[in-house]
Amino acid sequence: MIAKVLAETDLPKGSWSILPCDRQAADILVTDDRFKLLSFTGSDQVGWDMKARAGRKKVTLELGCNAAVLIDADTVIDEALIDRLISAAYGHAGQVCISVQRILVHADIYAEVKKKLVAKLKKIKVDDPALATTLVGPMIKEAEAVRLKKWLDKAEKKGAKILTGGSLQGMLFEPALLENVDAKLEIYKDEAFGPVAILEKFKDFEQGIATINQSRFGLQAGVYTQNLNKMLYAWDHLHVGGVIINDVPTFRVDNMPYGGVKDSGLGREGIHSAIRDMQEERLLAIKQ
């Protein structure tokens, strides 16, 4: 489908190619020095392995994340906010690298946010993605759904509370919301890549920012606050590729420099960044 659409544009013939191939054939694209740029989107394990074998070529990696959104006490907890959080955490069955996985809420409004999230989530049904009314469709592979279910069950055995959801039928995973999750567990520290979100309580804004930074990932983070000083504090202290103020970290448009730090990747995606990656900087000096 992508090739068909590109073929209908005014792009010069032969200026692009789409090459379906197996892993062995794709490995040539990684290691052959004739290719000058490698851009990869996927898991952190695969991405960093590719970089280690890529030789002298440029490498851009957009990898995983357990993205967090922080909601401070001065935030209005209306239906629009709840809908935004649910869409960011559970849209596309949570299979988005900047899908909200951790929801940090100030202690003063924690109970209200939890109540409204649970009430809304209980009305959501996992269904056919072809239907316009479907927010949460199936996971991409049954093996991935089983893996996430194991993570969920392990968290519950270790003391986590499942506030709603978590049942599994084939590849259909009921949207799950948890609290009291041990930060050492896979479902917290690794990329869930499924319809699961974790609620956390914080009392101090700086503590909340520090909690976000404890992750080995650093793609994007969202911060809801009306306090300009806190906005600037978040900007100065969050170790992520993008700080999104008064919105979820799932926000992305093509013209922004998009990418992460730490295990989330290297370099930036986006139109301008891609053009720079495909060029070499060169100096011309002329002496009279």
Note the pLDDT of residue 149: 98
Of the residues 65, 79, 97, 179, which is catalytic?
A: 97
Name the nearest CA neighbour of 98 among 61, 63, 126. 63
Q: How confident is the model over 109-131, as pLDDT tens digits?
A: 999 999 999 999 999 989 888 88
pLDDT above 70 coverage of the chain, percent? 100
The mean of the pLDDT values for the chain is: 96
Measuring CA to CA, how many Å separate 166 from each of 76, 147, 161? 28, 12, 11
Note the pLDDT of residue 25: 87
Q: How confident is the model over 210-230, as pLDDT tens digits?
A: 999 999 999 999 999 999 999
Of the residues 8, 21, 62, 156, which is catalytic?
A: 62
Domain boundaries, the chain: 2-62, 68-245
Note the pLDDT of residue 184: 98
Q: How confident is the model over 159-185, as pLDDT tens digits?
A: 999 999 999 999 999 999 999 999 999
200 carries an active-site annotation: no
Averaged pLDDT, 84-88: 98
Note the pLDDT of residue 120: 97
Amino acid at 91: G
Note the pLDDT of residue 127: 87
Name the nearest CA neighbour of 252 among 10, 67, 45. 67
Higher pLDDT, 4 or 76: 76
62 carries an active-site annotation: yes
Looking at domain 68-245, its CATH class is alpha beta
Note the pLDDT of residue 16: 86
pTM above 0.85, yes or no: yes
Residue pair 177/163 in contact by the 8 Å Cβ criterion: yes
pLDDT above 90 coverage of the chain, percent? 89
Label residue 100 by pLDDT band (50, 70, 90). very high
Q: How confident is the model over 131-165, as pLDDT tens digits?
A: 888 889 999 999 999 999 999 999 999 999 999 99
Residue pair 68/55 in contact by the 8 Å Cβ criterion: no
Note the pLDDT of residue 135: 81
* Cβ neighbours of 287 (radius 10 Å): 3
Name the nearest CA neighbour of 197 among 79, 104, 265, 134. 104
